[in-house]
Structure 1
């Protein structure tokens, strides 16, 4: 039997920590959350347990994925450590809810908190440019979501400028990479007109990154209008609630983002045909109205001419009635003295030479007697 190693307590702690660092530099542990507590708004302490064991964990509040409650299933990556005074514990590197029930519970707790802050308020929603000319796209370029989105977008409305940031859309690095991509687009001197965040469907754990506080706040804080499309319909992620617009699938996102060029051209042609038909109908109507107006004007002119003719005939009759020739034809004569008409016997004298104008000529006469 080997001789036992003689060490002090402190040396034992150091020796065990060296062994742990070498053998288990990082361990992922899944268990039920218990005794969750914070200190000075900086440190967080909790236990993970199962049916037969319980282990203490220690970390900072900045590692919390969001609001948590005792009883939730938690997956924690941590480093085992034996403390000189406080004994064995696990130093947390990262943590996330595990299992569909815990993920939904965590999302509901975070949703309630962010709702109180107004992050999902309808009045915060901004309209998206339609269609945008410059698009910022955040997704996994190896995914079917990327292929579907770009295919539908190109088929409906080509020629757009698209800048893509390739990120992981699930797993531990996903929230950090997605948030960094959102920050990148927002930091540009000339940012895109719209920011698109997409991924396909999956399990609750696959989609968990889109309901983390980190991603949700990044989407809500974006100064570029956002559209988020996650390929599922059962549950809506918190990032979708925070976005200015959500779509049911990546393909639907492309449909909401741009019109269908072929359908637009067909509608334009139809509108042109309708406009031409309407113009023809309007022209016929106006021609008919013009014809009616022309006919009315012609009838009015004829009535005016007829009335004028009657007036002319009346005036002619009146003129004829007072014409001296007409009077003379009835047996009257005009008496003139020195070329002037004599209108009174008082202007006559016995022996005066006069001229009589009759219908068919003149005669010279001498006044014998004035009575």
Structure 2
């Protein structure tokens, strides 16, 4: 079987985390004997760079679809790749498209993304198969677009347990991150962008610390358009001594972060949070997830067992859940940690690796 992998997000040396799950799905296909060509974009900066990049990317998609024979065209991110695929489908009706939809594909995060919705709908109706990361997202796609196209679930490449696991000793992790091994940490890993909930994380910390100083410090890993606002809020809330901010890190470094934190906070308010793979990666390292009761998080967080829920956007409730976790006994925390690892194993690459090729090999 031969597949053309299409995505406007793919890792590069400068941006190793950008679309890394796309590369992970590629590797799963390769490991299962599937031949994969690529029409992918790495991260571009500046308007001109993006314009040239997308023009070249679109031309490659159309040219590859017309001049080469593939069993399937497998696309990640319907919104930004629909246009060339719809053109290609008109020029060559025999091409079979498998569309893997994520996040803002279905639930636009900002008004400017709404313009893609008519093309997304058309692409999904013209696709041979659809892949979503979670049961929650599958229902969302069915309800919004009324598609009759078969929809399959595949959790975004899965959790790589060769990378994400609970270290037997944490010394290396503290050393790599230049952190104090005697200090206790809570962590969050996310882009600093609209809908990610970073402001509620900071507000909850400020409220908690104002009521009673804790012996915790709080890690935030990420960069984004709202980073200036993030830094300003840290200062306004007098959290400079409590917040440790790292920029975007490669996955190998994220494993260190997950191993030094007692719990992972996932404060998203996005209805388009199609799975939340970072939460599962944190769980694999033994960190329970204190997360918003929203999106794909509802499919794997079990309140009180492997994590805690709070209502999206409610900083006060997040504060209380942080307090509840901190005041839990060592035995309760250890039980939550063990349950978190068990949950993550259900999403491990080894556990799910056959699901993706099966989707392609099973004809409908």
Structure 1 or 2, whichever has the larger Rg, is 1
TM-score w.r.t. length of structure 1: 0.32
Higher relative contact order (CA 8 A, sep 6+): 2
TM-score w.r.t. length of structure 2: 0.33
Flag the structure with higher strand content: 1
